[in-house]
Structure 1
Amino acid sequence: MLHVDFRKQLEHFELVVDFQLDNEILALVGSSGSGKTTLLNCIAGIVHPDAGSISLNGRNFFQEGNKPLKIQRRKVGYLFQDYALFPHLSVEQNILYSRPPKSDMAHITAVTKVLGITDLLPKYPHQISGGEKQRVALTRALAAKPDLLLLDEPFSALDDDTRERCQEELLRIHEIWNIPIIFVTHRQADAQKLADRVIRVEKGQMTEQLISEASL
C-alpha cells in the first residue's frame, strides 16, 4: 500500500497531495504545469516535500523531521517522459546501467522477453523506434524488481498502433507483477483504458474522478 500525504511549495502555488494506492493503476491527469511530474518526483525521491509523509508497504520514503530515504533504496521504477536513454550505450548497457549489485539476471532476461526486446539488446537508441525506446525504458524501470512503477507521459510520443501495443504490454506487466502503477497522461482514452482510478491535478489541488466521468 502506498500512502502519500504531503505539501510542496512550487513557484505559483502549493502542491497538496493526499491519497492511498493499493496494487492498482492510477492515472494523474490535468493541464501542463499543474504539479503532476513534481508529485512523481517526490515519490521517487528526486525532490523532497516541504512537509508530510510518503510510505510504501510500511517503509518511510519521507517523514517530516527525518532524513528522506535514498532513491536507490526506494525500489521505485521510473519511466521518464523522454525515456532518458543514454545515447552512447547499447540497449543492453542502458538496461543494466543502474542495476543493483547481485541483480537477478534471470529476472532481467525474463523482462526483456516479456517486452519483446531481446533482438534489440546490441543496438543503440538512435537505431530503434519510439515504441522500442519506450519498451527499453520500461524494461530498465522493471529490471530491479520495483515495488512501485511511475510513468510520466509514457505514450505521448507514440503513434496510435504503437501506443496500443505498449498499453497492452503495461497491462500485462501489471497483471504479472501486481504492483501499484502511477502514470501521467493528457489523454482521456489512456486513463479510461488503463486506470483503475483517476485523479485530476490542477494548480496543485487534487480531485478524484470516476473513470466514466474523466474529462481531460
Structure 2
Amino acid sequence: MLQVDFKKQLDHFSLTMQFRLDKEILALVGSSGSGKTTLLNCIAGIVHPDVGEISLNERKFYSDDQKPLKIQKRKVGYLFQDYALFPHLTVEQNILYAVPRESAIAHITELTKILGITGLLGKYPHQISGGEKQRVALTRSLAAQPDILLLDEPFSALDDANRDRCQNELLRIHEKWQIPIIFVTHRIADAEKLADRIMRIEKGQMTEETVRLEL
C-alpha cells in the first residue's frame, strides 16, 4: 500500500497531499500547474517534500526522521510526459538502460510481446511513431518490475486508435501485476475508463475524490 502525507511549498501555493492507495489505478486531474506532476516527482524521489512521509509497502521513501530513500532503491516505474527516450540509443538499448543486470530477460521479452514492440527493438526513436514511442517508454518503465507505476500524461500525444490500444494494454498489465498505478490526465474520459479512483488537485489541494463502483 502507498501512503502519502506531506506538504511541499511551490511558487504560488503549498502542495498538501494525504491519501492511501492499494493495488488500484488512481487518476489525477486538475488544471495545469496545480501540483500533479510534483506529486509524482515526490513519490519517485526526483524532488522531496518539505515535511511529512511517503511510504510504499511499509518501506519509507521519505520521512522527517531519516534520509530520503535513493531513487534507484524505490522500485518506481515512471513514464514521463515526453517519454524521455535517448535519441542515440536503439529501442532495445533504451529499455535496458536502467535495468539491473540481474533482471530476468524472459520478463522483458514478455513485455515487448504484450506491448507489441518486438519488431521495433533495433530502431531508433526518430524512426518510430508517437504511439510506438509511448509503448517503448511504458515497456522501459516496467522492465525493472517496479512496485508502483507513475505516468505523466501518457496518452496526450496519441490519436484515438493508439490511445485505446495503449489504455487496454495498461489495464491488462495492471490486472496481471496488481500494483498501484497513478496517472496524470487532462481527459476526464481517460480517468473514467481506467481509474478505480479519481482525485482532483487544484492549487495544491485535493478538492474531490471519486471512487468507481463495480456493478
Query: TM-score, normalising length from structure 1?
Result: 0.96
**What is the deviation of 1:211?**
5.6
Q: Secondary structure at the match of 2:4?
A: strand
Percent identity between the two aligned chains: 77
> Which deviates further from its counterpart, 79-88 or 95-104?
95-104
Kindly provide the amino acid, as one letter, of the partner of residue 125 in structure 1: P
What is the RMSD computed on CA atoms of the aligned residues?
A: 0.9
- Partner deviation per Cα, 1:112-171 (whole Å, 9 max, x = no partner): 111111000000000111110000000000000000000000000111111011100100
Conserved? CA contact 1:148–1:180, under 8 Å: yes
* 1:141 corresponding residue in structure 2: 141
Measure how far apart 1:102 and its partner are: 1.1
Moved more, 165-174 or 100-109: 100-109
Question: Is 1:3 equivalent to 2:3 in the alignment?
Answer: yes
SS of 2:208's equivalent in the other structure is strand
How far apart are the structure 2 equivalents of 1:193 and 1:85? 27
2:112 aligned residue: 112
Matched, 1:16 2:1: no
Whichever residue aligns with residue 101 of structure 2, its letter is: P
2:91 is the counterpart of 1:94? no
1:207 corresponds to 2:207: yes
Residue number in structure 1 paired with 2:68 = 68
Determine the structure 2 residue equivalent to 1:123.
Answer: 123
Where structure 1 has 5 or more consecutive residues not aligned to the other structure, the ranges are none
Quote how far apart the aligned CAs of 1:42 are: 0.2
Letter in 1 for 2:45: G
Give the whole-Å Cα distance in 2 for the aligned partners of 1:205 and 1:39: 11
Distance between the aligned counterparts of 2:199 and 2:210, measured in 1? Answer: 9
- Deviation readout 1:159-201 (Å, 9 max, x if unpaired): 1111011100100110111100000000010000000000000
What CA distance in whole angstroms lies between the structure 2 residues aligned with 1:150 and 1:210?
Answer: 19
The aligned counterpart of 2:170 is 170
Give 5+ residue unaligned stretches, structure 2. none
Moved over 4 A (4+): none
Distance 1:107 1:92 in 2: 14
Paired position in structure 2 for 1:186: 186
Query: Contact between 1:54 and 1:63, CA under 8 Å: does it hold in 2?
Result: yes
AA at the equivalent of 2:9:
Q
The answer (yes or no) to whether the contact 1:192–1:211 under 8 Å persists in 2 is: no
Q: Which residue of 1 aligns with 2:197?
A: 197
Q: What is the 5 A alignment of 1:45-56?
A: 45-56=45-56
Distance 1:145 1:178 in 2: 12
Show the counterpart of 1:150: 150
**C-alpha distance in 1 between matches for 2:82 and 2:170:** 17
User: Counterpart of 1:32?
Assistant: 32
State the secondary structure of the residue aligned to 1:42: helix
Tell me the secondary structure at the aligned position of residue 176 of structure 1: helix
